[in-house]
Structure 1
Amino acid sequence: MNAIPPNFGSSQARSTVSASTTSMRWAALSEAAQVVAMLAGIEPERPGKDIRNFPALIRDAEPWRREMADRGCADLAAVMEPGIATLLAVNARGADCKPAALALWREFTQARCAVLALLPPAGEMGPRRYA
């Protein structure tokens, strides 16, 4: 009757680890996007408030939103890693990688928009806060 269930307390630890992983992955994706923009020959963008604050905003969202955002970031990283490696290899050989970089940039921005759409609506007073 007084035994602690095996998963007691682990959900918060798991949530913290997941939030930290998502935050680090999001930062890495933002840096990778700057590299792709440079290779595409376009001016790197200045990230908006939602992009900069995404890890903090999604951390406070419902569990299903956090899970989908984590999966979306993982999927986006899975696309960007080999894409950048290929672009750098093409560039190192002296070939023009701008068209491929521009295609990867477009894929990245579309996927990032989909991940950002998972943020809960904030309204005019900012994100929802809980006491």
Structure 2
Amino acid sequence: MNGIPTSTNDSRSAPPPQAGRVEFGHAAGNAMSMKWSALHDAAALVCTLAGLQPEMRKPDVRNFPAIMRDTGGWRYDLAKQGVDDLASIMEPGLAALLAVSARGQSPRPAAAALWQEFVASRAALLALVPPLGIKRRA
């Protein structure tokens, strides 16, 4: 009639695979990536409250969620759990620092302690990155 195929078997009428859809694995990886980025934004504020200069994000830190997603397996599972655990430390810690600061008291000593905890936890997470030669799940 109008030249538009009406058959459901016509491959032209079906959207290409994954068009407009995100696979669950990628969505989970994106969630970890967003949380990782938010943690670093919070850590930059903690740095400032501690009287320190916020650090530049190096590529290995910036790319950590993607590397873990590509690696998969137990390393990815531990990375997700570790990022969640780190968020559980940073959220109330940052709230306490802001409350102290709002009262006009110096948050520097507590902020420095939280910063050191963040750095140590992040280093443990970055140790999950597989050494060269271990195949990723690409």
Q: TM-score, normalised by structure 1?
A: 0.82
Return structure 1 stretches of 4+ with deviation > 6 angstroms.
none
Aligned residue identity for 1:42: L
Identity of aligned residues (%): 50
Assess if the C-alpha contact under 8 Å between 1:18 and 1:70 holds in 2. Answer: no
Q: Distance in 1 between matches of 2:137 and 2:63?
A: 18
Give the aligned partner of residue 42 of structure 1.
52
Structure with higher helix content: 1
Q: Distance in 1 between matches of 2:75 and 2:55?
A: 26
Give the aligned partner of residue 74 of structure 1.
84
2:64 maps to which of 40, 54, 63: 54
Give the aligned partner of residue 25 of structure 2.
15
RMSD: 1.9
* Bigger Rg, which one: 2
Q: Distance in 1 between matches of 2:132 and 2:59?
A: 12
Give the aligned partner of residue 110 of structure 2.
100
Aligned residue identity for 1:86: A
Unpaired runs of 5+ in structure 2?
1-21
